[in-house]
Structure 1
Amino acid sequence: MIVTSVGRILTMVRGKVQMRRIENTASRQVTFSKRRSGLLKKAYELSVLCDAEVGVIIFSQKGRLYQFSSSSEIQNTIDRYHRSSNDADTYKANMEQYILHLKQETTDMERKIELLEVSLRKLSGQCLGSCSTDEIQMIGDQLDLSLRSIRARKAQLFNDKIQQLQEKQLCLV
């Protein structure tokens, strides 16, 4: 300690402790005892101040058990941890499976889009050089069906328009 001219006592600031095993057995035991007590005290304070469920398990070098639990028994906290851990593992597995499913679905959609694009190019008269006679005949038949359907719809629209105009003409007369 250092005493200043005004009578204040200043303590020496301890340097940063190196994180390595303490070689001296007696020093190691003293440090273990102090830090264990400090850790258990902090666990208690955390549970009280924050209303958190806290569990701490410590085994000494000699195998002695030290524990703290904010619930009635440490086993309850351990069981809760296992349930939570299993839930997280299940969620992660489900997410991975879902992602794989989405990737497969994406691949299938890309393949379907490619087939539709090829079909559209053929229907528009492009890329016919690699088509066989049968394929060209099928494309022609498809186009004939489409053309008939388009002409039928066109005729229906014209007939509907003619009927509307005739009804309008009757109203004007």
Structure 2
Amino acid sequence: MGRGKIEVKRIENNTSRQVTFSKRRAGLMKKTHELSVLCDAQIGLIVFSSKGKLTEYCTPQLSMKQMIDRYGQAKGISLSDGNNRTGPAPYNRYKGDDLSSVQFEELRQLEQQLQHSVDKVRARKFQLLHEQLENLKKTELMLEKENQEMYHWLMGSQIQKQAEIEHNQEAMKELRLMEQQPLLNQFPFFGEDIVEQPSSELQLATLQHPHPHRLQPTHPNLQDFGTSSEYGTT
């Protein structure tokens, strides 16, 4: 099964776009070098990333300046200014310099090109602002999610800690009750009958004979005296 056709359009995701650029740039440099060596072609390649980073390749034994000069000769344009510094002469017109010899039609085309460039720059600026805004929103959502997770974790830890404290308090109460239980068994509770133990032999005898007999005198005189007193005689 062959590979599916990939739609060629701008990659919206900033990270994916940067990764794709790095991979494709390496492949482009490799293919450019192979074309130059295998076909004995003179190649000059200049690549600027979206962040302005320059990457270039030039056929060995040649310099990039030589390639640019040769390009200017082939196009019939001068790419050097009066100070022999490399720089396309038409670029000066975009800065508003050396317009005395420019005709009306050229000025109209220059104005259209500048307007088109301004529109591209403005579109790129809004695009970057939009990407920065999206990144800020994603960061805000991520921080909010982390804060919620941290809050739930703290609340769960607090509840668990409170449950452990209550459990420990209940355990301490039960332990104190167990320690006090032997002492309570030694003393009767209020309202229960208390049986007193006899403190002497006399009390013991009294308890054994609750109804004592009348004392019978054994002396005869005492008995007679009692009889006489009972009947009123002397």
Q: TM-score range by the shorter chain?
A: 0.3 to 0.5
Structure 1 length normalisation: TM-score? 0.42
Structure 2 length normalisation: TM-score? 0.31
Larger radius of gyration: 2
Choose between structure 1 and 2 for higher RCO, CA contacts under 8 A separated by at least 6 residues: 1
